[in-house]
Amino acid sequence: MGCLFCNIVSKKIPSAIVLENDHALAFRDINPVAPTHVLVVPKKHMTGIHDATPEDGEVLGAVLLAARQVAHDLGLEAGYRLVVNNGAEAGQSVFHLHVHVIAGRPLAWPPG
């Protein structure tokens, strides 16, 4: 079985892909919390941001730039939020690093 998002990256498990490049894949969240909810993941497996190392800088930059590209392509310039949950206590449920791109409704601050 293995890692869910690794299986999505390898396309063993289907997803609604919105962007793909050498380092990152972006796909629609299966359980959206807002009208637009996309996940951007590195193709390389990393459990979470806390496990990243300086050597991962290029990949991490590519993931953030992919999130920006998704926001541009989906016309989210009015506002969007990037969220990275790290650890179960913070709400992480899939242990492959991912950036949530959330938009399309007023987003409260501070987050819950």
| Residues forming the active site | 98
Could you say which of 31, 88, 89, 109 contacts ligand AMP (CB under 6 A)? Answer: 31
Q: How many residues does the chain have?
A: 112
Region binding ligand AMP by CB under 6 A among candidate stretches 18-26, 59-67, 69-77, 92-100: 92-100
CA angle 42, 46, 52 (to 5 degrees): 100
Residue bearing tokens 């629609």: 28
Query: For the chain, what is the radius of gyration of the CA atoms?
Result: 13
Residues 54-83: x where in contact with ligand AMP by CB under 6 A, - otherwise, as a string: ------------------------------
Alpha carbon distances (Å) from 69 to 4, 7, 37? 24, 23, 14
Asked if 85 touches ligand AMP (CB under 6 A), the answer is yes
Whether the link from the prior residue into 110 is cis, omega within 30° of 0, is yes
Asked if 30 touches ligand AMP (CB under 6 A), the answer is yes
Residues within the interface to ligand AMP (CB under 6 A)? 4, 15, 27, 29-31, 39, 85, 91-94
